[in-house]
Amino acid sequence: MNFKNIAAGLLLLGSVCLVNGQFLSASDTSENSVKRYKNIINANKDIVDFIENSLAQKGLPRHLRNLALIESHFNRNITSGAGAVGVWQLMTAHANQYGLSEQNRNDIYKSTKTAVISLSNLYKKYNNWVTVVAAYNCGEGNIAKAMSAAGSNQYHVFYKFLPNETINHVKKYLNACYATNELQSVLTDYNNARLNAVFFTNGGSGKDLGSLSETEINAGFNLKIIADELKIDLSKILAWNPGIEEELQNKGESTLYLPMDLMPDFLLRKNKILSRSIKEVK
């Protein structure tokens, strides 16, 4: 089975990436929120089209247009209290790093070219768009400090060590992507990176998620009973399977990922687990 298809199957539009009890999802899916974001995009169609074409030319996803959306509402003349300027809210040092003069930060063409290069470089470094959005807001230095403090390079673990402004910025980005029907793409990208990384739990090293085995289960299985039978915490199953609860609820079936050393135990107990799940369900 194709790995990308497996990962995509774990995450539905509006789904939740649940890891150690922390949610990585859209926090505002209200009709007003969706309408507000869509109205801003529609009111700036020329700028949006230019940004999307610039992103596509570099092989970057069009949902990154939402970064400019939450940064400035596509207002090229806006200046933040911290001194960030233009559609992409570039600070002087950030602009100069890519050869963009301070005066040209509100130039839509030149600033977009700079932003596209910057975003491309950040993705090469972090390998997922969630961390890229965070780094774009608070800088790579703060990301490095947060990763060090958390003992992990996974956003859902280290985010608590970031400034509140950055955490809220990521939330806004996910909300905007929900409004533009692109949240699935962002979360699938994040999950792909997560499954290829070493996961850290409570500051200690955990299992290599690249060595997970897979099997199919249906909605008859109770995840708490699976955890009980395998003598592990439910939080670990949820960490290995972000979005599985929603997948089981919405589709009635899902792929279950477990470390290779646990999968034989699950398969041996599969019938017992299903029997208990059916008897003990409320």
Residue 35 has pLDDT above 60, yes or no: yes
Region 132-153: mean pLDDT is: 91
φ, ψ for residue 58 (rounded to 5)?
-100, 5
Reduced to 3 states (helix: H, G, I; strand: E, B; else coil), residue 221 is coil
pLDDT on residue 197: 56
CB 220 within 8 A of CB 48: no
Helix (H, G, I), strand (E, B) or coil at 206: strand
Mean pLDDT score of the chain: 82
Percent above pLDDT 70 for the chain: 84
The residue among 191 and 278 whose pLDDT is bigger is: 278
CA distances in angstroms from 147 to 68, 102, 155, 266, listed in the order given: 26, 31, 8, 33
Q: What is the pTM of this model?
A: 0.64
Average pLDDT over residues 141-168: 91
| pLDDT tens per residue, range 161-219 | 999 999 999 999 999 999 999 998 898 888 877 766 544 333 333 334 445 677 889 99
pLDDT exceeds 90 at position 221 = yes
Calculate what percentage of the chain has a pLDDT beyond 90: 44
